[in-house]
Structures are given as structure tokens and as C-alpha cells.
Amino acid sequence: EERERWLGRARVRPSVVQGGCSLVEVDQEIRNFVRTGRLLIISYEQIRTHASELDDSIDLLVCDEGHRLKSSAGLTTKRLAALRCKRRLLLTGTPLQNNLDEFHCCVSFVQPRLLPPLPTFQRVFKAPIDRSHDASASAQEVALGRARSAELSQITSGVILRRGPELLETLLPPRTEILATVLLTRRQALAYLAFCDAVRRSKQTVDAHGGSLHLGVLGFMRQLCNVDPEHLVAGGGGGEDDAEISKGAEQTALQ
């Protein structure tokens, strides 16, 4: 559908390898692409499996949902990075700069020699930039982090193209948001109040853990607003670290 929308129905006829294709169909589509060299639409899992057959047959490799290639240790990243092709294009709607190790991996995938090796990158860029965001950073550390961030942006500006949502405003239908407010049932309200009271009584326990268990408390409260208390199980509000503080309060609320 996307191909027809942007290129027209007759301009390019793609070979498509997707879930549900038999081995014979997959083999036939890949052979067609290698022979014609037109357009191949294939999943990450399939191209990882058939990378050797496609090696040196691709002029332009376009990776949608490119943040899936954020780990240099991942098998898919390794196989695609080893795939010989003339050009690589990575598309993602996920902010890569939130994790500089992932940013390094994705940039190095499309331009392998643009950034220094990961240990050097971490020392020169990642460490000072991360440190500058810390509340206890000195003015000198903040200045160094900003300088390294500006330098990194300048280095990668030639391979990164950013586009905001305004680009699609003329192509997408108007967005409609509806906020529906629904009152809690009596049992939900009673359980919610009982849980809040139990958490207040256990405040010293929460503080002893440095507040790291608040997400578990919030998680259980969110579930309590969405599900009847009869269907909840204590300990389901968060991860393993959250269970210790909230288990007693959850049991109290559910009882």
C-alpha cells in the first residue's frame, strides 16, 4: 500500500517476503529480487536468515523501525552490518539520543567510520554528556558536556535528517481526542482508599528504600482503577523490586 501510494502501481513491482510464506515462496521471491534487482520487502527475521543469499545484491538497504538495531551485540545488527551494500538508510521514530550507546550503534551502522570506537566514544562523548545532566555537576562539567554534545551534533549532522510531526499534518486526517471520565465503583473506591492508607502507614519502609519502589505503588493503583478488585492479585503492581513494599498494602486493599 505504501509503495503504491508514493510510487504508483506500475512503477515498481516489489518482491515480498513476509510471515506465512512457505520456504519455496521465500526462495522464489529472493531469487526474483537477486535477478531483477528492483525492490524487496522483507522482515528483519527473514533477511537475517537469508543474508548470505542477498550479500552484495543490495544497492540501498532501508531499515524501518531502525531502533531495533540499537545493540551492536544483537544478532540482527551483526548480520545486517556484515551485509555488503552500497548505501544504508535507517528510519525510526524513537529518539536515539536518549541513550548514547544506542546512538553510536545506529550511526555506526549507516556510516561505520564516522564515530570513534565505542570505548573511545564513551570516554570522549558519553561520559561528559551524561555527567553534565547530573544535578550535582559543576559549572565546568556542564560546560564540557554541552561542548561535547554540540561537537557530536556537528559530526553527525551530515548523516541524520530529523523531521517533526508537522511534516505529516497535510497527509493525515484530523486527530480527535476524547477524554471519558468514569467514576470508580464502590468496591474500587474502598480498595483504593485502603491501599493509600496502608501505603501512608508504611512510609518509613518506602523512605528506607530511597523511594525506588514508588513505581510499584503507582502501578497497583493504576490497575485498581481499571479492574475490579476481585480480579487483582497482590504483587502485580510492578516488577520484582516493587513487590516488597507494596505486597502488604495490596493485600490490605484487596481484603
> For 136-182, what is each residue's pLDDT tens digit?
999 999 999 999 999 999 999 999 888 877 777 777 888 889 998 88
Average pLDDT, the chain: 79
pLDDT at 242: 39
245's enclosing H/E stretch is: helix 240-254
pLDDT at 172: 80
**Integer Cα distance of 115 and 106 in angstroms:** 11
Three-state SS at 24: helix
Q: Tell me the β-bridge partners of 90.
A: 63
Identify the three-state secondary structure at position 243.
Answer: helix
Residue 62's SS3 state is strand
Range 20-47 average pLDDT: 80
The pTM (predicted TM-score) of the whole model is 0.61
Compute the average pLDDT of residues 56-84.
86
Cβ partners under 8 Å of residue 126, min gap 6:
100, 101, 104
Question: For 248-253, what is the mean pLDDT?
Answer: 54
